[in-house]
Copies of this chain bind each other. A is one copy, B any other.
Amino acid sequence: MADNKQLDEFGLIAELLAPLADNKAAARLSDDAARVAVPDGLELVISTDMLVANVHFPPDADAALVANRMLACNISDLAAKGAQPYGCLLTLGVAGNWDSAFLQRFVATLADGLKTYDMQLWGGDTVRANEGFAGLAVHGLVPSGEMLTRSGAQDGDDVYVTGTIGDGFLDLADLGPAYAAPAPPIGFGQAARGLANAAIDVSDGLMADLDHICRASKGRINVEAEAIPLSEAGRAYGDLAALLCGGDDLQMAFTAPPAHADILGIEAEKHRIALTRIGRFSASDAHEAVLRAENGQEINVQKRGFRHF
C-alpha cells in the first residue's frame, strides 16, 4: 500500500497542475485524455524527451533545473523542425526526495516555461519511482509539408549554427546557466522554415549532430574550425574538440542556400539570435562532417561524448 505522504504528494501535483491545464484540449485535466483539434492546413510535429536522475541531472538537483532542462530539451526538438509549440503531456516519476517544496518549485518553473513558449499542458501521468524522472511529449504545429528535416540539404548549402557552441558542456560541471536553463531558438526556428533546407538541434554534440544531416542528406559537411562561435569561456577553455562534441548546447544547426544569407541574417537579428556560418555542405559519398583547420587540414575529433553524474 502507498503511504499517506505518497497520496498527499499525488494530490498536490494534481492540484498544482490543474490551473496550468486551463485550455480546451485538457479541460483542467478533468478527464484522463486530451482532445486536440489540428487546424486545417497544419500538421503536428511530435517528439518526446525524458530526463532521469543520475543520468541527465544530479539526484539532488534543484527543481527549477530539472523543469528548465526538461522543457528546453523538448522545445529544442520543435525549434529545429520549424514548429510552433502547441501542447504537451508531462510524465513525472516522483522520487522519494521530491518533497512538496520541490514539486511546487517544479510546477512553478514549468508554468513559466509554458508561458514563455506559448505551449499548452494537455495532460500526463504521475508515478512513483525510486529514481526521479521527468519528461514531456511535445506537439508543435507546422504548415502541412513544411517541417524542417535532416534530409533536405543541397549541394553548396551554407551550414549555420545559432548561439555559441560548447557552453552546455562547460556549464555542466557547475550547473551554470547554459546547462541549467538553456534557451532554444524556438522563434528563429519557425522563421527558418522555407529558408533552411535541412536542420537539427545540437544536443549530442555539434559534430555528431552534423553527421546526422550528412547521413540523411547524403553528403559531407566541411566545418571551419576557426568559424565556430565560442563564448568567452569557450575561447578560454582551449580544447575545441571537447566543446564540439560535448553536447547539451540545445542550439540549432542548419543548411541553407547562399542566396538566403541576407534574409537569414535579418531574421536572426529580429529574434535576437547569434547566427554564424560555419561551413558548407556538398553532395558526396562520404556521409560525414569533417572539422578543418584554416589551412584545410582535417582535425580529428572523437565525435560523440556521453557522461553522467
Q: Which of A's residues lie within 8 Å of B, judged by CB?
A: 1-2, 6-7, 25, 30-38, 40, 43-52, 54-56, 77-78, 81, 83, 89, 91, 93, 122-125, 127-131, 133, 135, 137, 139-140, 142, 144, 147, 149-151, 200-201, 216, 305-308
Using known A-B contacts A35-B45, A43-B38, determine if residue A91 contacts B50 with beta carbons closer than 8 Å.
yes
Residues of B within 8 A of A124 (CB): 48
B91 close to A91 (CB less than 8 A): yes
21 contacts between A and B (CB under 8 A): A2-B308, A7-B306, A31-B81, A31-B151, A33-B46, A33-B78, A34-B44, A35-B44, A35-B45, A36-B43, A36-B44, A36-B45, A44-B44, A48-B89, A48-B123, A50-B125, A52-B127, A55-B127, A89-B137, A129-B133, A130-B130
How far does the alpha carbon of A139 sit from the alpha carbon of B35 in the complex, in Å?
Answer: 10
Partner of A135, one of B43, B91, B200: B91
Which residues of chain B are near A151, meaning CB under 8 Å?
Answer: 30-31
Further pairs besides A38-B38, A52-B129: 16, Cβ < 8 Å: A6-B306, A31-B216, A32-B200, A33-B47, A33-B83, A33-B147, A34-B45, A35-B43, A40-B40, A48-B125, A49-B125, A52-B127, A128-B308, A129-B131, A129-B133, A130-B130
Q: How far is the CA of A125 from the CA of B138 in the complex (A)?
A: 12
Residue of B nearest to A37 (CB): B43
The 3 closest A-B pairs by CB, nearest first: A137-B137, A33-B47, A2-B306
Chain B nearest Cβ from A9, distance in angstroms: 13
In the complex, A133→B91 CA distance in Å? Answer: 12
Say yes or no: A44 contacts B38, CB within 8 Å: yes
> Are A216 and B45 interface neighbours, CB within 8 A?
no
Q: Does B30 lie within 8 Å of A150, measured CB to CB?
A: yes
Who on chain B is nearest to A78 by CB?
Answer: B33
A93: min CB distance to chain B, Å:
6
Report if A122-B50 is in contact (Cβ < 8 Å); known contacts: A33-B81, A78-B33, A216-B30: no
Nearest-CB distance from A122 to chain B (Å)? 6
A194 to chain B, nearest CB (A): 16
Residue in B38, B45, B130, B308 whose CB lies within 8 Å of A131: B130
